[in-house]
Structure 1
Amino acid sequence: MMSVLVHALLVQALAGNAVVAKTPTDGGVACLTLATALAAREGVPVTLVSGSGGELSEALVRAPEIGCVSFVGGRDTGAAVATAVVDLGKRHILEQEGLNTWGIWNYSDWDALGALIPKLFDYGKQRCTAYPRFVVQRGLFDAFLAAYLPAVRTLRIGHPLAVEHPDDPYPALDFGPVINAAKAKELDDQVAEAIDRGAVPLYRGTPADARFLPGQDTSAYVQPVTLLHPPRSSPLHHAEPFGPVDTIVLVDTEAELLAAMNASNGALVATLSTDERATFDRLAPHIRAFKIGHGVPRSRGDRDELFGGYGASWRGAFVGGELLVRAVTRGPAGERSPGNFPDHRLTP
């Protein structure tokens, strides 16, 4: 979250604008305060405010002095912000949650997939381009599990200084805690509720595999979990968990594959693993994600590559390279950066 906010903050400031930033409601206060203080010390015109989004959002979004709004968060709050900025005619960049999916169809390169699985847990899947959902052709489920389970069993979490002896190297860890204990409890509750309603637990890491300091508070740690077929009544079926919780859905037809990959009506990224390029080219246009990989994960990309969402996962201007500058500056009359505006949408 800090990298996304500070990046947007600095680009807007370097484009000649004064910037008002708000810390996320969950976490980020200390590091963002330090980053903003360093920028302000160097004369960058930035101001950081902190408080409840419910209390500050209305004032910040509707203030006539603010000409562009950049928001990253959930769809409920994002919808309220979007309504306000559209009514006011303000430039806006609204990145909202979406369920990024990885489809498996007529596929056989299981060694390549197995090598990718641990990397997909970077940052504990607390990133907007994480892949928490696998949509798997039913006839390939056994081969998928044979590649997936050994890979996920290698994951280790804990504290980077938790070594057995002072001279030992740092332990090899894949990720640390989620953002706070409340988020950890939310994820644990969602997993328990999904299982109670019929999801099948396929894997759950154990605390014995973790590395912690003596007496360390571990309430914000969540062991990796994998569930088969989360029930439709569960948030894990249609929403981004934003944590180390994978879900798997089995499908029998291409139509079911596309429907399951589009469960959240729009996402930032998606991947389809299929052996035949022709199959990928035929199915990819129907996947409602902005960036789609053929057997490889997609991300925010380099600075020269567009970044945005599709459907309900993004509103306003897409960004990337010079487009982020164009989104927060005045250009020729009528100029508009590419994005999910009612009359201007990019296709993946």
Structure 2
Amino acid sequence: MTRNTVGSRFDAGAQYLAGALREGTGTETFDVVDPSDGSLVQRVRLASTADVDDAVAAARAAFPAWSNATPGTRSDALTRLAGILAERADDFARVESAQTGKPIKLSTEFDVPGTIDNTAFFAGAARNLEGKATGEFSGDHTSSIRREPIGVVGSISPWNYPLQMAGWKILPAIAAGNTIVLKPAELTPLTSLMFAQACTDAGIPDGVVNVVTGAGRTAGEHLVSHPDVSMVSFTGSTGVGKRVGELAVQSVKRTHLELGGKAPFVVFDDADLDAAVNGAVAAALINTGQDCTAATRAYVQRPLYDAFVAGVAELFEQVRLGDPFNPQTDLGPLVSFRQRDSVAGFVERARGYGATIAAGGYAPEKGHDGTDLTLGAYYRPTLITGIAQDAEVVQSEIFGPVLVVLPFDSDEQGLRLANDTPYGLAASAWTRDVYRSLRATREIKAGCVWVNDHIPIISEMPHGGYKASGYGKDMSQYSLDEYTQVKHVMQDITAVARKDWHRTIFGDREQ
């Protein structure tokens, strides 16, 4: 597969407002760079606060008609969108890999088909906005529930899965009848813009989906604080999520926060060792470890500990780093040199505290295909042992291809250690014992707990965290709860002018 050239498709600008690309009016430009070799993919002019104002105004103008469209109309548009995404799948995959550095096989087999499936799911979900059945709960009135859209949604998405996160933000919002302004990470805005263009091509009215490419400190904060934005949805680090929450609460906006993770991978002594080793390597290295649900802390019961470490170290050394557009490449670069240096810093500090680096721990020079990896933001898969539970690499989100392994003795200790971080997004338990698995899924505090697997997600099931990993759900029917407000409608059915309860305010009970 040849490397993508974005070419002139975004020469009109990297803002998508009211159905058309346009140039940003900010004073800064930003270079979208291929992190595998440092080459320029696209130079974009960033949005100013005025661009955000225009995007919000477009979304607000489109809201009345879109919110009043029938569920069938919205469903049909999303069905067309799924078809367009499928037709353009190869193009989306190439652009996604160019701006992120992720292997083309990951973009082709995971990111793009996952987004298409998510779109198809919400096409159906748009017709299924359920409320409580109509009923006479007081005896004198009929009550019913209306589930209504909230208004203009201001969403901020991260750089690790640009296309999928655009879908996760846009799809439930517009399926429920809202309009949206999405601010993607300036590192990786291109497939979000392509997604918005596909929405227009699918017949979704102008202004329903808008994209502003800008810096968080200007465009992002202005979007979150905007008086005409009724809801904010953010995916990113816990630190930035706190700032988003602080800004949103000033105008009492609804907020949905999907934040950081530090997923535990708990291996009991009766687990299938080969399955656990293979699962750990895949779960730790997906997307070069830049995944908030990636396995980052493996706790292995002592009888299997040495064999697990040896098995993972052996597989880590076999992982092929190289040109992301080579279909045989397993692991691409980090998204930027800054991110690569951040990951390396975590590893070097752990080494300084006496940790054992059982595999990796350095930036490589040559790829499996002869690619000069020094030109890109590459880092070898790294396995760390011999570190304490309170160490930085155990407690903090690294967001890179680093797995820390610690032993445990009793089941109680293993589950306690699994819960011993501020995060609670995802986790997994590995055992052949049904009682152990039931206990683990009950006691581990995380929004998703896999058993004998780690990472798979499906459109029909929710994604979201506990504790410092945020609140609210992406995907599934549950996400529509985030993007709708519930209204109780109560109608008198007696036609009696003087109600019995009026006597509590004036007069006596009528005889």
Q: Distance in 2 between matches of 1:15 and 1:44?
A: 17
Q: Which residue of structure 2 aligns with residue 75 of structure 1?
A: 238
Q: SS in structure 2 opposite 1:289?
A: coil
Equivalent residue, structure 2, for 1:33: 193
Cα gap change, 1:10 to 1:285, in 2 (>3 Å): closer
CA distance in 1, matches of 2:237, 2:355: 25
Summarize the alignment of residues 51-90 of structure 1 with structure 2, pairs less than 5 Å apart.
51-90=214-253
**Equivalences for residues 195-206 of structure 1 within 5 A:** 195-204=351-360
| 1:269, distance to aligned residue in structure 2 (A) | 1.3
Q: Which aligned runs of 4 or more in structure 1 are off by greater than 6 angstroms?
A: none
1:180–1:156: structure 2 CA closer, same or farther, 3 Å change rule? same
Deviation for aligned residue 1:209? 6.3
The residue matched to 2:196 in structure 1 has which SS? helix
Aligned to 1:227: 384
How far off its partner does 1:114 sit? 3.0
How far is 1:23 from its partner?
1.9
Q: 2:200 & 2:327 partners in 1: Cα distance?
A: 37
Which of the two has higher C-alpha Rg?
A: 2
Equivalent-residue separation in structure 2 for 1:39 and 1:267 (angstroms) = 34
Give per-residue Cα distances to partners, 1:213-266, cap 9 Å, x unaligned: 666763311111111144567532212211111111222333432232123233
Q: Which moved more, 1:240-249 or 1:105-114?
A: 105-114
Match of 1:128 in 2: 292
2:179 to 15, 18, 38: 18
Are positions 1:245 and 2:430 aligned together? no
Answer whether contact 1:91 1:328 (CA < 8 A) is retained.
no
Q: What SS does the corresponding residue of 1:322 show, helix, strand or coil?
A: coil
Q: Is the 8 A contact 1:61 1:85 kept in 2?
A: yes
Aligned length: 323
Question: Is 1:99–1:263's contact at 8 Å kept on the other side of the alignment?
Answer: no
Counterpart residue number, 2:476: 321
Report the secondary structure of 2:485's partner residue.
Answer: coil
On the 8 A contact 2:365/2:372 being kept in 1, the answer is no
Aligned mates of 1:199, 1:39 — CA distance in 2: 50
SS at match of 1:331: strand
SS at match of 2:478: helix
Instruction: Supply the AA of the counterpart residue of 1:242.
Output: F
Q: 1:228 to 1:333 in 2, by over 3 A?
A: farther
Identical-residue share of aligned pairs (%): 24
Unaligned runs of 5+ in 1: 162-169, 335-348
- Partner SS state of residue 375, structure 2: coil
Question: Is contact 1:118–1:152 with CA below 8 Å preserved after alignment?
Answer: yes
Rounded to whole Å, the distance in 1 between the matches of 2:272 and 2:390 is: 34
For residue 458 of structure 2, what is the aligned residue in structure 1? Answer: 302
**Cα–Cα, structure 1 residues 160 and 60, in superposed 2: closer, same or farther, change >3 Å?**
closer
Deviations 1:31-74 (A, max 9, x none): 33333344356544222222321233332122221111110111
Deviation per residue, 1:87-106 (Å, 9 max, x gap):
53322210000101101122
> What's the secondary structure of 1:50's corresponding residue?
coil
Q: Distance in 2 between matches of 1:48 and 1:284?
A: 39
Note closer, same or farther for the CA distance 1:61–1:208 as it changes in structure 2 (3 Å cut).
closer
Task: Tell me how far apart the structure 1 counterparts of residues 232 and 451 of structure 2 sit (CA, whole Å).
Answer: 33
Alpha-carbon separation, structure 1, partners of 2:261 and 2:484: 28
Secondary structure in 1 matching 2:318: coil
Q: Distance in 1 between matches of 2:350 and 2:275?
A: 30
Task: Tell me the residue number matched to 2:50.
Answer: none
Partner Cα separation in structure 1 for residue 455 and residue 192 of structure 2? 27
Q: Which stretches in structure 2 are left out of the alignment for 5+ residues? A: 1-160, 490-511
Distance apart, 1:212 and its partner CA: 5.5
Where do 1:152-301 residues align within 5 Å?
152-161=316-325, 170=326, 172-204=328-360, 207=364, 210-211=367-368, 218-230=375-387, 234-299=391-456, 301=457
Deviates more, 1:32-41 or 1:269-278: 32-41
Does the C-alpha gap of structure 1 residues 313 and 229 become closer, same or farther in structure 2, counting only changes over 3 Å?
A: farther
Higher mean C-alpha deviation, range 208-217 or range 183-192:
208-217
Contact kept, 8 Å, 1:106 with 1:275, in 2: the verdict is no
Q: Which amino acid aligns with 1:109?
A: D
- Displacement of 1:292 in angstroms is 1.1
- What is the SS of the residue equivalent to 1:198? coil
Deviation at 1:279, TM superposition (A): 2.0
Q: Distance in 1 between matches of 2:389 and 2:412?
A: 18
C-alpha separation in 2, matches of 1:248 and 1:240: 15
Q: Which amino acid aligns with 1:218?
A: L
SS in 2 for 1:246: strand
Check whether the contact 1:113–1:147 (CA below 8 A) recurs between aligned residues: no
Change (3 A) 1:212 1:318: same
Query: Which sits farther off after the overlay, 99-108 or 227-236?
Result: 227-236
1:293, 1:69 → 2: CA distance?
Answer: 29
- Could you say which residue in structure 2 is the equivalent of 1:164? none
Q: Deviation of residue 270 (structure 1)?
A: 0.6
Q: TM-score, normalised by structure 2?
A: 0.58
